[in-house]
Each structure stands twice: as C-alpha cells, then as structure tokens.
C-alpha cells in the first residue's frame, strides 16, 4: 500500500509473528467457517448462475434462444428452494423472475409474461420486507405495461409500490413511470396507519440499501511530498492518480457525479481526504493504492473494506492509516451510530465483492493472469469516519516484477480502471 509500512514489513520478527497470527486465525476460521458461510455467503451455484445470467444478457446469439433463460430460471429457483438458511435467499427468487422476464421480453409470449410476473409476485408476497420486493413490483409493472399493454394493471402495481415502499429506492422511479403512463394521475401517499407501519418496517430492515449512489469520491492514494511506494520503476502516487482519473471518466460517462480528493500531484492529508466525503456529500468512497511487500513473490489484486478483523497484512495497513490520521481531535466528527456503522460495513463488503470479481473478470478477459488477492478487511480510519460505504483497492504489488511491468502498461491500467468502474456500477445497480 505505501512505503510507510515498509519498516514494519522489513522487520523479520514482526513478519514471522504476523505469519503465526495468520495461521492461528485461519485455524479459527476453519472452525467457524461452515456455520457462518451458510448464512452470509452466496451459495456457489448462485454465483455461477449469476455469472451465466450476465454472460447470457450480453450474448446476442444465445440470448435469442429459449432454453438458456428457462434453464437459468430453474437453477435460481432451485437455489431459492434449497438454501433455506441463506440470508439473501430472496435474491435467487428475484433472479429467477428476472430470467423469465428477459425471456418474456424476447419471446413476447403472454404465457412467459404471466410466469415472470407470478415469480415476482411470490417475492413481494413472501418476502415483503426484502430489499428486492419493490424492485420486483417495479419490474412486474413494466412488463405489464410494455409487453401486455395492460396500463391499468401496471398502474395498480406501481401505486402499490409507492404506497408500501414510499422510502424505498424504487419509489421515485415508480412515480416517474406513473406520470409517464398517465400524466393526469395523482400519486397516492400512504395514508393509513397500517401501511405506514409496514413501510417503516421495511425501511428499517432495508437499512442496508438506503445508500443511493449518485456521487462517488475517488481517492488517489498519496501525492506530492508523499510518493507512496516505489519499486521496479513504479511510483505509487502517479499510478493511483492515473487510475483514479480513468475510473472517474468511465463513471462520469455512465451518469455518475464524480469527485476527487486530488486531481494533480499534490499532498492531501488523511483527515482532508476523510473530510471530503462530508463536504462533497459523496455516497461512496473509493481509495486506490499500489501495494508492496518485502517478498518479491507476493502479488495480487486486493480489495479492503472497513472492519475490525485483522489479518497480518490488514493490521499493517490499518497501522498506516491510523498513524496518519489527523491530530486535531476538535475537527473529528463523532463516530457514526452503531447501526449506521453496521450498515456501512455490510454495504462496503458488497461493494468490495463487486469490485474484486468484476476487475478480475475484466483482466482475465484480456488474458492477464492477475492473482486474486481476495477481499480483506481493515479498520481504516478514513472509512470509519466517513459514514458511507467505501473500499481501499490495492491494485497490485510493485515489488513483484510481473505486476510492476503490467502496471507500467497503459493497456493494463485501462483494463484495471474498467474493472473497478464497472464493479462500482454493478454495486450501484445492485447486481
């Protein structure tokens, strides 16, 4: 990440101690792993089907066939039915409906529309508190209006959405769609106590998805008098700025509002970076760094998000962040409420997963065999202060010759930036 950590890394006793710690931590994870996995992590079959769905959507030839959509709809449904302990189970149901929805849009058959809608309905009826319930309502309404030409039916679903999920993130879009279908129509507000209560319950549970992503703050690590790490001809402050600008222009092209902590080679304190989250009213914070390790064999693309967990590398990173943090206690904001903190952490984890998998996917497409360094956690001061979801990306180890050579190539940096940007977009669109 930085050259500040090198004194730590170069001390072999610390190095071996942290390795021992890591081994111990891994052992604990093995013991805990099974119990935790079933609740939090996506089943492998779900992830596979998700990747295939994305590929199918882009495949102009195969997407014209019926079978691949039917097959995916069934596979997602199987995950939904079997993974009864999985917390994100409604997502499998939603994707099953989505596959049928795509099929219906292509075939134009009424029976396909009916099946897709029935599956969406199952979601909002059985999982009314799910973050995807309003999305399901919205998609079902659009299918009705656009494929069945049933404007009245579509309006009914949209009004249900506005009434029951007035604070959900689909409410604005639903209202806009109502106006499009029927400009004269008044949009009903939830008025009965029961409805308000239900909506509140959903909003509370929905907590994690209250983050609307419109503005992204890109943080190019280091700069000016702080060069960052420097090996094999790679200078961290230059690479991070180049990447931030590339990521920013892609996001801006997709309609996002992009801000930067620095746009030139200048020094910015860590406190100023954190304050920028507040002053720019950013919804996401993305910090970009280049990694270094005393061992030239160590390589890989890694994404960190805010957490208290400590792996050896993570504690080194955190030490740097905390050592750099501003000294004026008066300027420090209060810590976010514990709830906000929890939500921020969950969202950051989801953002990290999107960035990690999308970037590696983009690099592999161009035949770069970049090592998957994985998603890691560290208690970053910058993120903790920000109150918004955020990640710190370590794009590669300049101490590794192969990665340093790649980072020197503009084609590699372009692909890295594409991966990071599309990971952010996927997160923002909840994919």
Site of interaction with Zn ion (CB under 5 A):
1-2, 221, 228, 289
CB of 221 vs Zn ion, minimal distance in Å? 4
Q: What are phi and psi of 59, to 5 degrees?
A: -85, 100
Q: For the CB of residue 3, give the shortest distance to Zn ion in the complex, in Å.
A: 8
Which residue, 101 or 226, has its beta carbon nearer to Zn ion?
226
By beta-carbon proximity to Zn ion, the closer residue of 2 and 358 is 2
- Rounded to a whole number of angstroms, the minimum distance from the CB of residue 282 to Zn ion is 20
Question: Are the beta carbons of 310 and 378 closer than 8 angstroms?
Answer: yes
Closer to Zn ion by CB, 221 or 223: give it: 221
CB-nearer residue toward Zn ion: 263 or 341: 263
User: Pick from 204, 217, 203: which is nearest to 168 by CA?
Assistant: 203
Output DSSP code: residue 109: -
- Do residues 353 and 302 lie in contact, with contact meaning Cβ atoms separated by under 8 Å? no
Of 228 and 248, which CB lies nearer to Zn ion in the complex structure?
Answer: 228
- 3-state SS of 43-101 is CHHHHHHHHHHHHHHHCCCHHHCCHHHHHHHHHHHHHHHHCCCCCCHHHHHHHHHHHHH
Task: Name every residue whose Cβ is closer than 8 Å to that of residue 96 and which is 6 or more positions away in sequence.
Answer: 72, 73, 74, 76, 77, 80, 119
In sequence order, the β-bridge partners of residue 230 are 235
Return all residues near 241 (Cβ < 8 A) that are at least 6 apart: 220, 223, 262, 263, 264, 265
Q: In whole angstroms, what is the distance from residue 357 CA to residue 28 CA?
A: 26
Query: Least Å distance between CB 287 and Zn ion?
Result: 8
CB of residue 394 to Zn ion, shortest distance in Å: 8
- In the complex, the smallest distance separating the C-beta of residue 17 from Zn ion, rounded to whole angstroms, is 23
| Of 2 and 356, CB closest to Zn ion | 2
For 304, list phi and psi in degrees, rounded to 5. Answer: -110, 145
């Amino acid at each position: 990440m930085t050259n500040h950590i090198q004194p730590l890394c170069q001390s072999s006793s610390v190095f071996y101690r942290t390795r021992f710690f890591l081994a111990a931590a891994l052992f604990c994870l093995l013991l805990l792993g099974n119990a935790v996995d079933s609740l939090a992590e996506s089943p492998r079959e779900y992830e596979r089907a998700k990747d295939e769905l994305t590929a199918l959507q882009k495949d102009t030839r195969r997407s014209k066939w019926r079978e691949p959509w039917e097959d995916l709809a069934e596979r997602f449904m199987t995950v939904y039915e079997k993974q009864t302990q999985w917390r994100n189970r409604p997502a499998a149901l939603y994707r099953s409906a989505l596959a049928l929805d795509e099929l219906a849009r292509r075939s134009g058959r009424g029976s396909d529309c009916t099946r897709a809608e029935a599956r969406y309905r199952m979601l909002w009826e059985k999982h009314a508190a799910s973050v995807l319930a309003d999305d399901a309502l919205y998609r079902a309404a659009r299918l009705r209006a656009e494929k069945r030409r049933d404007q009245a039916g579509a309006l009914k679903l949209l009004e249900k959405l506005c009434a029951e999920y007035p604070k959900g993130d689909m409410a604005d879009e639903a209202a806009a769609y109502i106006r499009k279908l029927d400009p004269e129509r008044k949009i009903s507000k939830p008025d009965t106590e029961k409805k308000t209560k239900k909506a509140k319950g959903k909003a509370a549970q929905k907590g994690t998805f209250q983050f609307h992503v419109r503005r992204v703050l890109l943080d190019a690590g280091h700069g000016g008098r702080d060069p960052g790490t420097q090996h094999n001809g790679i200078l961290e402050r230059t690479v991070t700025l180049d990447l931030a600008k590339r990521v920013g222009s892609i996001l801006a092209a997709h309609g996002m509002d992009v801000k930067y902590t620095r746009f030139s080679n200048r020094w910015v304190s860590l406190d100023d970076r954190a304050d920028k989250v507040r002053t720019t009213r950013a919804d996401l914070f993305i910090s970009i760094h280049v990694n270094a390790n005393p061992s030239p064999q160590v390589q890989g693309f890694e994404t960190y998000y805010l957490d208290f967990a400590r792996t050896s590398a993570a504690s080194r990173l955190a030490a740097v962040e905390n050592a750099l943090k501003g000294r004026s206690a008066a300027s420090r904001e209060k810590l976010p409420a514990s709830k906000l903190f929890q939500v921020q952490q969950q969202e950051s984890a989801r953002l990290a997963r999107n960035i990690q998998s999308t970037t590696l996917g983009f690099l592999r497409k161009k035949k770069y065999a970049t090592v998957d360094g994985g998603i890691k956690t560290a208690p970053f001061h910058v993120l903790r202060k920000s109150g918004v979801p955020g990640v710190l990306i370590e794009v590669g180890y300049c101490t590794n010759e192969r990665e340093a050579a790649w980072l020197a190539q503009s084609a590699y940096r372009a692909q890295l930036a594409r991966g990071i940007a599309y990971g952010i977009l996927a997160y923002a669109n909840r994919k």
